[in-house]
């Protein structure tokens, strides 16, 4: 046996597990073989088997055996084994590989790409249920900045997902008393004591917008003052006076840029 592979490393509960086994015959005579595909759980218990029909590998030749198992496997880690048998049921080779089965998974995190300080933003976690029955649990979201020193766990949200469907949980967060910079939203969904994730999405916390940055160059300066002088209706003078001198104004995305 020269190679043994499953078609995937991760499966859903009712997905078929298909394997390919490459067998080389370096002997002088043809081999008549049979194969048994064995699925074992984490306790080493056999939870599924599939036998092949007898097949022949000519002398000096190779053969690729395709063998699949279909059935139900619960959430967890499994070992897939192949055993080759020759005449009189003598085992002549074998191999194994690890797979996992997921009853569900986090399918996405939506975050505001840029969230100004003091403004509330929505964060959404989507979770898919791959089982036939309804499941319930909690979605959790943690906000962390990339520089370290700040981490906030938002209140968990209940989530219930019908069999074979997807649902989402939405969290609201306002960056207050934190520095501007790069942040991460870290999601975990817990169902019946089983934690799924973490899944992570990055976003930026930006300084508050500058209403007086009329030319959108990142500061409120004399150029903006001259525009206000020409058109006093652009902004209340008291607001402009507070912002005048700021050099950290968030720049607007170029026109046509998707948000």
Alpha-carbon distance values, 31 to 20, 34, 60, 67, 94 (Å): 18, 10, 10, 18, 16
- Give the pLDDT confidence score for residue 254 in this predicted structure: 56
Average pLDDT estimate for 186-215:
91
239, pLDDT greater than 70? yes
Residue 185 phi, psi dihedral angles, 5° rounding: -105, 120
Q: 161, exposed or middle or buried, with CB in 10 Å at 0-12, 13-18, 19+?
A: buried
> Which of the four pLDDT bands, split at 50, 70 and 90, describes residue 259?
very low
- Give the pLDDT confidence score for residue 168 in this predicted structure: 97
Residue 211 vs residue 184, higher pLDDT: 184
- Give the pLDDT confidence score for residue 146 in this predicted structure: 87
Specify the range with the lowest mean pLDDT, choosing from 42-56, 97-111, 152-166, 216-230.
Answer: 216-230
Enumerate domains of the chain plus CATH numbers. 3-101 (2.60.40.10), 104-206 (2.60.40.10), 210-254 (no CATH)
- List strands edge to edge, sheet with 121-129: 104-110, 121-129, 166-173
Q: How far is it, in rounded angstroms, from Cα 125 to Cα 199?
A: 9
Q: What is the mean pLDDT of the chain?
A: 92
Calculate what percentage of the chain has a pLDDT beyond 90: 71
Q: How far is it, in rounded angstroms, from Cα 136 to Cα 122?
A: 22
> Which of the four pLDDT bands, split at 50, 70 and 90, describes residue 160?
very high
235, pLDDT greater than 90? no
- Give the pLDDT confidence score for residue 47 in this predicted structure: 97
CB atoms within 10 A of CB 29: 8
E strands, the chain, are 3-6, 10-11, 17-24, 31-40, 46-51, 55-57, 62-69, 76-85, 91-101, 104-110, 114-116, 121-129, 135-145, 151-153, 157-161, 166-173, 181-191, 194-206
Query: Using an 8 Å Cβ cutoff, are 170 and 134 in contact?
Result: no
- Give the pLDDT confidence score for residue 257 in this predicted structure: 45
Specify the range with the lowest mean pLDDT, choosing from 32-41, 139-148, 181-190, 212-221.
Answer: 212-221
What does the longest C-alpha to C-alpha distance in the chain come to? 99
Residue 160 vs residue 256, higher pLDDT: 160
Candidates 25, 158, 46; CA nearest to 96 is 46
- pLDDT, one tens digit per residue, over 120-138 is 999 999 999 999 899 999 9
Alpha helices for 131-217 (secondary structure H): none
Helix (H, G, I), strand (E, B) or coil at 180: coil
């Amino acid at each position: 046996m020269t190679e043994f592979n499953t078609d995937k490393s991760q499966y859903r509960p009712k997905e078929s597990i298909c394997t390919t086994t490459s067998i080389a015959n370096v002997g002088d005579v043809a081999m008549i073989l049979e194969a048994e595909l064995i699925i074992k759980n984490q306790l080493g218990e056999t939870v599924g088997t599939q036998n092949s029909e007898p097949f022949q590998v000519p002398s000096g030749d190779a053969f690729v055996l395709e063998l699949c198992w279909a059935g139900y496997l619960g959430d967890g880690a499994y070992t897939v084994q192949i055993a080759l048998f020759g005449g009189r049921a003598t085992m002549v080779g074998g191999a194994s590989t690890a797979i996992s089965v997921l009853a569900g998974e986090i399918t996405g995190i939506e975050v505001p790409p840029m969230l100004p300080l003091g403004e509330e933003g929505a964060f959404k976690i989507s979770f898919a249920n791959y089982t036939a029955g309804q499941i319930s649990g909690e979605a959790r979201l943690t906000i962390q900045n990339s520089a370290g020193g700040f981490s906030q766990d938002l209140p968990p949200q209940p989530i219930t997902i019908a069999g074979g469907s997807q649902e989402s949980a939405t969290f609201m967060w306002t960056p207050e008393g934190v520095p501007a910079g790069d942040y991460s939203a870290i999601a975990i969904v817990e169902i019946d004591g089983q934690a799924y994730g973490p899944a992570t999405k990055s976003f930026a916390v930006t300084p508050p917008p500058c209403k007086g940055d009329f030319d959108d160059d990142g500061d409120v300066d004399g150029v903006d003052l001259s525009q206000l002088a020409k058109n006093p209706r652009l902004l209340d003078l008291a607001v402009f006076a507070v912002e005048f001198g700021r050099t950290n104004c968030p720049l607007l995305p170029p026109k046509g840029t998707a948000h």
